[in-house]
Amino acid sequence: MGYMTPILSDSSYTKTVDSQGNTKVKKELGKDDFLNLLIAQLKNQDPLNPMKDQEFIAQLATFSSLEQVSNMNKNLEEFLKQQSYQNATVASTMIGKEITSIEGEKGVVASVKIEDSGVYLSVNGKNIAFNDIKEIKNPSTV
């Protein structure tokens, strides 16, 4: 048996071309790549020694599991995005309120910032993560 190049070093599997003809390098294989490999394997199998039923069923089960994990990942990403929007909505109601962080920092919330890493409240010129708030109250009037 000859030497076979690893699939991740084969440019036909690791590069994609977009609608404008630009080439992009893929860092990982997805479910479409797995299905294409399975189809290629079926097309190129030895007719005198075909794939066993158990092997084929195991590969189909693996493909099904991969698809379910992929769908679950998409759902989780959407959930986290919605959670971030909800945190931003709740955080916006804290503008003008006095908060205390878990590190003991106190101050009145001046603004809310939404970043990729989360929702932050601007207090005394510092950004405090929404998840790091332990107390919220109306500002004391002295």
Whether 38 and 84 map to the same domain: the answer is: yes
Full domain range(s) for residue 121? 95-137
Mean pLDDT (whole number) for 78-101: 87
d(CA 118, CA 133): 13
Note the pLDDT of residue 12: 56
Mean pLDDT (whole number) for 15-31: 67
Which SS3 state, helix, strand or coil, does residue 17 take?
A: strand
Q: Is the pLDDT of residue 45 over 90?
A: no
8 A C-beta contact, residue 120 and residue 113: yes
Q: Is 120 domain-assigned?
A: yes
Strand partners, 112: 121
Contacts of 105 (CB under 8 A, 6+ apart): 123, 124, 126, 128
Q: Is the pLDDT of residue 108 over 70?
A: yes
Whether 72 and 88 map to the same domain: the answer is: yes
Which SS3 state, helix, strand or coil, does residue 4 take?
A: coil
Whether 88 and 122 map to the same domain: the answer is: no
Note the pLDDT of residue 3: 47
- Please count the CA atoms within 13 angstroms of the CA of 100 that sit on its side-chain side: 8
Mean pLDDT (whole number) for 123-138: 91
Mean pLDDT (whole number) for 107-111: 92
Whether 86 and 121 map to the same domain: the answer is: no
Whether 123 and 79 map to the same domain: the answer is: no
- Looking up tokens 């603004």, which residue turns up? 111
Whether 34 and 85 map to the same domain: the answer is: yes
Q: Which residue in 141, 84, 142, 103 sits closest to 123, CA to CA?
A: 103
The pLDDT-based confidence of 26 (bands split at 50, 70, 90) is low
- Predicted model pTM: 0.47
Q: Where are the beta strands (DSSP E) in the chain?
A: 15-17, 23-25, 98-101, 106-115, 118-123, 126-129, 133-137
The pLDDT-based confidence of 86 (bands split at 50, 70, 90) is confident
Note the pLDDT of residue 1: 43
Q: Is 111 domain-assigned?
A: yes
Span of 33-37, 70-74, 88-92 with lowest mean pLDDT: 33-37
Q: Is 76 domain-assigned?
A: yes
